[in-house]
Structure 1
Amino acid sequence: MTKRDEIKLLGTAASPYVNRVQFVLKLKSIEYEFIEENLACKSELLLTSNPVYKKIPVLFHANKPPISESLVIIEYLDEFRPDVHRILPSAPIDRADNRFWANYIDNKYFPLYEDLRQTPGKEGKEAVKKQILEGSVLLEEAFEKFSNGKAYFGGDDIGYLDVVLGCFLGWVQFGNKHNEFNAFDEVKTPKLAKWADRMLSHESLQGIIPGNETLMNFYMMLQIHKPPRAA
C-alpha cells in the first residue's frame, strides 16, 4: 500500500482532467493527498511544478520530478501499480488504438463544450451542438468496437477509454441541462447512453464526479476570466 504522503495531486474538484487521475488512483487503491488549486490565481507550486503549460493536474510522487498532463499521469500510475486494475490493454496495437481515441476525446470532442460556452447567439450554438452530436455518434461506433458487446470500453471492466471519457460525464450532464440538448441520445447513441448511466453509478466514480454546484461555480469563474466571444 502506497503511503498517503508519498503521492500528492494538485488540482481542482471541477476539472475533468483532475477527476480522471482521481478515478485511476481510486481504481488502484492508491492513497494520496489532494492539494486544491485556485485557477483564478495560480499558485507558485503550480507555476514551478508545471512551468511549460501551467495547468492542472500535477502529480507528486515522493522525491521524483512532478508529472503533468492527465493522460501521462494515468499511464504512469498504470505502470507504477500494474498488479491492480490494469487500465491500458496489453497488446501494443490495442494500446495505440486506445491512445488514438483518447487524443480525439481530449483534442476534438470535449473542446466543443468550451466552444459551445464561448459561442454567441442561438444559431452559432446550434451549429456547435450539431458537431457535438456528430462526435457522439463517432464515440458510439468506437464503443461498439472496443466493448465487443460488453459493458465498458474495456470490455468486462473499466479500461483506459472508460476513464478518459468517463471523467467528462459531469460536464456532459451540465452541458445538456444548460443548453437543452442530449449529447448521448438514446436514439442515436443508445449504447453510449447506457454506458454513461453505468459509469455514473459505478462505485469507483462516487465522490469523484463533481456535483452541479461545484460545476456551476467553476462555470461562473470561466465566464469571468474567459468570457464568451462577442456577437
Structure 2
Amino acid sequence: MTSEPVRLIGGFGSPFAHRAEVALRLKGVPYELILEDLSNKSELLLKHNPVHKLVPVVLHGDRSVAESLVIVEYIDKAFDGPPLLPADPYERAQARFWAQFIDQRFARPFFMSFWIGDDDEHKKAFVKEAKENLALLEAQLKGRRFFGGDAVGFLDIAACALARWVGVMEEVTGVTLLNDEELPAFCRWANDYVNDETVKQCLRSRDDLVAYFSARKEMYMARARATLHK
C-alpha cells in the first residue's frame, strides 16, 4: 500500500494544500504535486472530490482522500516515518479538538478581520474575536516550541495559516492580529514553524504570497461583504 504512487492536487497560496504537502514531507513520502486552477477546475479534481470540489486531494494508488485534516491523519497512518499525532490518547484527542477549533471557530473571524472594509461597523468585533482565539491557542503551547513538543506535528500543521499566512494578510490589508507583546509564545511558534527545514521545502515565499493575495484583494473583499449578509 505504501509503495503505490502518491499525487497531491493542490493550489498555489492555499494553506489547506500546504497542510497535506508538509505532512507528506515530514513523513518522507515522495509525491507529485499537481497545481489546480480553481477558477477552471479540472476533471481530475472534480472526479476525486465531487462533494466539495476543492483542494487538497491526495491520490494514493487508486484511492483518493479529500479534506486537509483528514488527509493529514491518513498520511500519518498510511506511511512510515515520524508520527504526526501524539501517541498518548488524551494528547491525541486534544490535538484533534484544537485543530477542529481552528477550522470551525477561527476561520470566519480570521477571514473577516482582514477582508471586511475598514469602515464596516463589524470589523472591530471580528478583530477582537480573532485575537481572543489566538490567545486561546497561545495557551496551548505551554512553554513548548511546537504544540506537540520539539518537532512539528498535527496541530502545528493544522495551524499553519496562522504562521505564514497571517503575516501575509497583515501586509496586504494593513490589519494587525499578531504582535510580540500580546502573543509572545505564539509569535515565536510562528517563526519557528516557517523556519523549520522540512516546512521550508514546501512553503511558498512570503513575497510570492503577498503578490498573489494583493492581486486578489478586491475579490476577497467582495466575498467578505457577501458573507457578512448571509
TM-score (norm 2): 0.87
C-alpha deviations, 1:181-220, integer Å up to 9, x for none? 4423212211111111111111011142222333532553
Question: Which residue is 2:198 aligned to?
Answer: 204
Alignment partners' CA distance in 1, 2:103 and 2:215: 22
Unaligned runs of 5+ in 2: none
Letter in 1 for 2:49: N
| Corresponding position of 1:213 | 208
> Do the aligned residues in 2 keep the contact of 1:113 with 1:175 (CA within 8 Å)?
no
Distance 1:47 1:222 in 2: 26
Structure 1, unpaired ranges of 5+:
none
> Matches of 1:176 and 1:215 in 2, distance apart?
10
Question: Residue in 1 aligned with 2:39?
Answer: 40
Q: In structure 1, what is the equivalent of residue 66 of structure 2? A: 68
User: How far has the Cα of 1:168 moved from its partner?
Assistant: 4.0
Match of residue 177 from structure 2? 183
Aligned counterparts of 1:57 and 1:9: Cα–Cα separation in 2: 7
Using a 3 Å threshold, how does the CA distance of structure 1 residues 225 and 112 change in structure 2: closer, same or farther?
closer
Secondary structure (helix, strand or coil) at the match of 1:186 reads coil
Query: Over aligned residue pairs, what C-alpha RMSD do you find?
Result: 2.3
**Counterpart code for 2:147:** F
- Compared CA separation, residues 221 and 175, structure 1 to 2 (3 A): closer
Is 1:98 aligned to residue 95 of structure 2?
yes
Question: Equivalent residue for 1:55?
Answer: 54
Work out whether residues 40 and 221 of structure 1, in 8 Å CA contact, stay in contact via their aligned partners in 2. Answer: no
Aligned to 2:85: 88
Aligned pairs, number: 223
State the AA in 2 paired with 1:103.
Answer: Q
Partner-residue secondary structure (3-state), 2:51: coil
